[in-house]
Amino acid sequence: MRVHDCNWKMLEEYLGHDDRIVLPIGSTEQHGYLSVGTDAILAERVAVEAAEPLGVPVLPALPFGITPYFAAFPGSPSLRTITYVAVIRDLLDSLFGQGFRRIAVINGHGGNTPASGVLREWLTEPRKARVQVLFHDWWNAPRVWAVVQRYEKESSHGSWMENFPWTRITGVAMPSGVKPPIPQNRIRQAPPDELRRLTVDGVFGGSYQRPEEEILEVWRTGVAEVRDLIENGWSPSA
């Protein structure tokens, strides 16, 4: 259930019998021909679909992340790492203070990796009650990635593997064919202006489109994997 579909009394009642909550984190950044909100859209949607049968509340996705390398693409704002880490810590502190003891962070953006480090640091701090935090990169988790690789090994940012019905822009036609992959070492080293010149359209490589049944298999696998995490990923209570 979406937190935005609840009032505070409903959530207080929920805390009387469960202490789980899901925090999706994403980014607002260029994805070639797809929405600049792709990472946030996917993180929140996969979390909502996964958590719905379990009755676990899902917060709105954090829409901004760490994406300085896309600074040359309009509509791709980035937070500094120090700012992002502080935001994540503040959210965890708030959720813990309100009684949530099992927090699943569902990540939709590779640049947000520093969040996984701050979670481990946060967990080492002394608290009066036990708390657990899970960090999950939904798009390259083992089951999802196995499906992606079965269909196409050279899949990357902005390609078919993110081309879902809910990340497409109405009226924007996706190209056909396959874009040769850009070497990762060039992508990682390129300043923003060079990265824009290097990618041209912002896509890092792979097919722009694949059959809808393949795309939806990736999605269903992601939802199932996230659901399994929310339901069974916790350590037994001490």
| Arithmetic mean of pLDDT, 185-201 | 96
pTM of the shown model: 0.96
| pLDDT above 60 for 86 | yes
What is the Cα gyration radius of the chain? 18
Backbone angles phi, psi at 26, to 5 degrees: -140, -140
| Contact assessment for residue 205 and residue 179, using Cβ atoms and an 8 Å cutoff | yes
What mean pLDDT value characterizes the chain? Answer: 96
How close are the terminal C-alpha atoms of the chain, in Å? 28
| Arithmetic mean of pLDDT, 164-188 | 95
Rounded distance between C-alpha atoms, residue 154 and residue 68, angstroms: 24
Structure confidence at residue 178 as a pLDDT band (50, 70, 90): very high
Q: CA nearest 208: which of 18, 14, 32?
A: 32
Domain 3-232 has CATH 3.40.190.10: no
Token pair 């874009």 is at which residue?
A: 179
| pLDDT above 80 for 237 | no
List the chain domain ranges: 3-232
Rounded distance between C-alpha atoms, residue 36 and residue 75, angstroms: 7
Instruction: Give 181's DSSP letter.
Output: P
Tokens (6 digits) for 19:
């202490």
| pLDDT above 50 for 14 | yes
Dihedral sign, CA of 90, 110, 49, 146?
A: negative
| pLDDT above 90 for 128 | no
- Residue 228 identity (one-letter amino acid): D
Rounded distance between C-alpha atoms, residue 226 and residue 169, angstroms: 26
2 three-class SS: strand
Token pair 């795309």 is at which residue?
A: 215
